[in-house]
Chains A and B, each alone.
Chain A
Amino acid sequence: MAQVTLSRITKRYPGSDTPAVDDVSMTIPKGSFTTLLGPSGCGKSSTLRIVAGLSKPDFGTLQMDGRDITHLSAAKRNIGMVFQSLALFPHMTVAQNVAFGLEMRGMGRSEREAKVARALDIVELGHLAARHPHQLSGGQQQRVALARALVVEPSILILDEPFSALDRKLRETMQIELYRITRELGITAMFVTHDQEEALTLSDSIVVMNQGRIEQQGTPREIYGAPRTRFTAEFMGLSNFLPARCSSGALSFEGLTTARPETLEAEGDCTVALRPEGLSLSSTRPEGAALKGHLAEAIYQGASTAYTLDLPSGRRITARTPDCGLQPGQEAWVSWTPGALHAFAA
């Protein structure tokens, strides 16, 4: 296991005006599971490929345990990589696939076989060792790819959206397994996904990326609970953005003044976001901060109902709460739990 540090990594593909990776710096501590999270095309794979040594940065350096590896070839970095397309070797059996990395390291046959058997046991595939990849289901192929990457005891395990091709149920099972395996073995991992839930489930640390740049990094709690930009907030499922002003002790929006959240760093113009799931509605004025509006729509969605409320300013907010019996056309008050309100620089 190793600590990996990216310093000011920048990569621009030929023929493109904007860099795919723009001045990215981060540290992946030893034994930590770090996730790059962002929409498709934001430069996650490009960053991973640079860490893996499959592509060279135009600028910036890469260190592993303090050693500069910027110019070291992929073959010498001691990484274990799981590709989005899995990239299993189609002409080799499951056991040969898993053994490949050990063979390239010159390990003797008996030691190799013991390690392969153990790795296949970890992913519960021992009974399929003699099959070829095309004879396996999607989930089984996934496990082979994972075993192949784990067996070499990599300094860092790199996974590029490994579960995106799986159906929801299988994906959740694999996430739990990956969590268990990486924590049991104390693996340093760098994971890429565009799925915020997956990132929150698996990670010790999340790096939110947008257009090649790092938007915010922190623990899942920090990223989810205190997004610092509108982009991160939106990516973490926040909506109901309202313009606001903040001063030394107070935050005001939609004619309401409340206490200023501790996490807010801005002064002057800022934006407030309200998590739809944290809002509740009532026909009478509740205690504490609340906004009054006109109920425009109520859409029943089973566990919750989505209410759309027109505010006097003309802006709309959506609340998702258990059905509260209010009908469209009525006046209603909306209030929120403390964790549902976020504010950040506009």
Chain B
Amino acid sequence: MALTDTAPPPQAQPAPRKPLSPAWLTLPGLCFLVFVLLLPVGWLMALSLKPSMPGAFTMEGDWTIANYLRFFSQPFYYSTLIKTLWVSALTTGITAVLGYALALIIWTASPAKRGWVVLIVLSPLLVSIVARTYGWMIMLGDRGILNQALLGLGLIEEPIQIMYTAGAVIIGLVHVFVPFMALCVLTSLEKIDPKVPEAAMTFGASRWAVLRRILLPLTVPGLASGLTIVFSLSISSYVTPALMGGPRSGMLTTFIYQQFAVTLDWRFGAVLVTLLLALTLLVLTSILALAARMTAKWSK
């Protein structure tokens, strides 16, 4: 009894504090995103709904969709949108094929060779974009190495114009974007048990059948991330179209630059930015939704 009397009274436990949800950890990132991305973009979108007025950067004036009507009523304007779209789509498509092939080469290379292949694949990213672009100009110009070679071989009578065409832009973009695609696909390939394609072979599948029936479906997730990355990089690229497509590249990004820096018509420029953004989001969500549907049944 005495013991219980002298025992210290049980200390009142402080009420257990409710642990903070881990979601709060995203707060700094969210603040950053709001300030550097959402605010400026939102502001630009709002600006696109004000009457066009060169030199005006502020919000005065009535709300109007006149800028959008102007864009879609002039073939000169909306053709940039169409051209941007097909150049980006073609770039993405070619990059996908080349990137996939490279990923397969890396995946099947022996560990000793693998490092070298990866280094070669990444090499376009090791050179500054400007240097790389001028390198292509040396290759592809009217008096460039390619034309000289073709002339020398007698295959052509006079130089073919490659520089300052959509073709040059696509070549320049594909060159840089292939590593992104290859690495995305490789991530998916690495998740495949190497015995799975072997099993397919033992059941009579040709190499082509293994690719089409086994590897392609299993790499849909990597392919989808590669496609979204390359498409958004293509559609928003500026330096390569500006240098290799020439001043009249007809791409939306160079057109946007002119509005903001040359004609100073920010409000019309904001229309272009909004359309570019809307188009990109539409394409990206379609790709991702399609990929999710294709893998829903089996991906864990």
B209 partner residues in chain A, CB cutoff 8 A = 104
A237 to B288: give the CA distance in the assembly, Å: 58
In the complex, per-residue mask of B281-300: 1 if CB is within 8 Å of any chain A CB, else 0 = 00000000000000101101
A322 to B218: give the CA distance in the assembly, Å: 57
Instruction: Tell me whether B201 and A132 are in contact (CB under 8 A).
Output: no
B26 at the interface (CB under 8 A from A): no
- Least CB distance, B292 to chain A, in whole angstroms: 14
Which of chain A's residues has its CB closest to B191's CB?
Answer: A90
Instruction: Tell me whether B300 and A74 are in contact (CB under 8 A).
Output: no
Instruction: Tell me whether A91 and B298 are in contact (CB under 8 A).
Output: yes
What total of chain A residues lie within 8 Å of the partner, measured CB to CB? 31
Instruction: Tell me whether A75 and B205 are in contact (CB under 8 A).
Output: yes
A85 to B193: give the CA distance in the assembly, Å: 8
Select A54's contact among B202, B214, B217, B298, beta carbons within 8 Å.
Answer: B202
A158 to B201: give the CA distance in the assembly, Å: 14
Given A132-B297, A134-B298, A87-B198 contact (CB < 8 Å): yes
CB-CB contacts below 8 Å: A45-101 with B: 52-54, 73-81, 83-85, 87-92, 100-101
Which of chain B's residues has its CB closest to A49's CB?
Answer: B198
A105 to B203: give the CA distance in the assembly, Å: 8
Instruction: Tell me whether A105 and B300 are in contact (CB under 8 A).
Output: no
Instruction: Tell me whether A105 and B204 are in contact (CB under 8 A).
Output: yes
Instruction: Tell me whether B198 and A54 are in contact (CB under 8 A).
Output: yes
A112 partner residues in chain B, CB cutoff 8 A = none
- Least CB distance, A198 to chain B, in whole angstroms: 21
A320 partner residues in chain B, CB cutoff 8 A = none
CB-CB contacts below 8 Å: B199-252 with A: 199-206, 209, 213-214, 217-218
Given A132-B297, A134-B300, A89-B196 contact (CB < 8 Å): yes
Given A89-B214, A90-B218, A74-B202 contact (CB < 8 Å): yes
Given A87-B193, A87-B198, A87-B199, A76-B298 contact (CB < 8 Å): no
A105 partner residues in chain B, CB cutoff 8 A = 204
B17 at the interface (CB under 8 A from A): no
B18 partner residues in chain A, CB cutoff 8 A = none
- Least CB distance, A206 to chain B, in whole angstroms: 24
A77 partner residues in chain B, CB cutoff 8 A = 202
A275 at the interface (CB under 8 A from B): no
Select B196's contact among A79, A80, A87, A104, beta carbons within 8 Å.
Answer: A87
A194 at the interface (CB under 8 A from B): no
A133 partner residues in chain B, CB cutoff 8 A = 298
A307 to B196: give the CA distance in the assembly, Å: 49
A74 to B200: give the CA distance in the assembly, Å: 10
A52 partner residues in chain B, CB cutoff 8 A = 202
A75 partner residues in chain B, CB cutoff 8 A = 201-206
Select A104's contact among B203, B217, B295, B300, beta carbons within 8 Å.
Answer: B203
- Least CB distance, A100 to chain B, in whole angstroms: 5
A89 to B209: give the CA distance in the assembly, Å: 13
A148 at the interface (CB under 8 A from B): yes
Instruction: Tell me whether A54 and B200 are in contact (CB under 8 A).
Output: no
A152 at the interface (CB under 8 A from B): yes
A92 to B199: give the CA distance in the assembly, Å: 14
Instruction: Tell me whether B204 and A76 are in contact (CB under 8 A).
Output: yes
A52 to B202: give the CA distance in the assembly, Å: 7
B206 partner residues in chain A, CB cutoff 8 A = 75
Instruction: Tell me whether A89 and B200 are in contact (CB under 8 A).
Output: yes
A152 to B199: give the CA distance in the assembly, Å: 13
Interface pairs (28), CB distance under 8 Å: A54-B201, A74-B198, A74-B202, A75-B201, A75-B202, A75-B203, A75-B204, A75-B205, A75-B206, A78-B204, A80-B203, A81-B199, A81-B202, A83-B195, A83-B199, A87-B196, A89-B196, A89-B199, A89-B200, A90-B196, A91-B295, A91-B297, A100-B203, A100-B213, A104-B204, A104-B209, A132-B297, A152-B203
The chain A residues found within 8 Å of chain B, CB to CB, are 52-54, 73-81, 83-85, 87-92, 100-101, 104-105, 132-134, 148, 152, 158
Q: Beyond the given A87-B198, A101-B204, could you list 6 further A-B residue pairs with CB under 8 A, ordered by the A residue number?
A: A75-B201, A75-B204, A88-B199, A90-B218, A132-B297, A158-B202
For the complex of A and B, list the 8 residue pairs with the smallest distance between their C-beta atoms, beginning with the closest: A104-B204, A101-B203, A87-B195, A87-B199, A81-B202, A91-B298, A74-B201, A91-B217
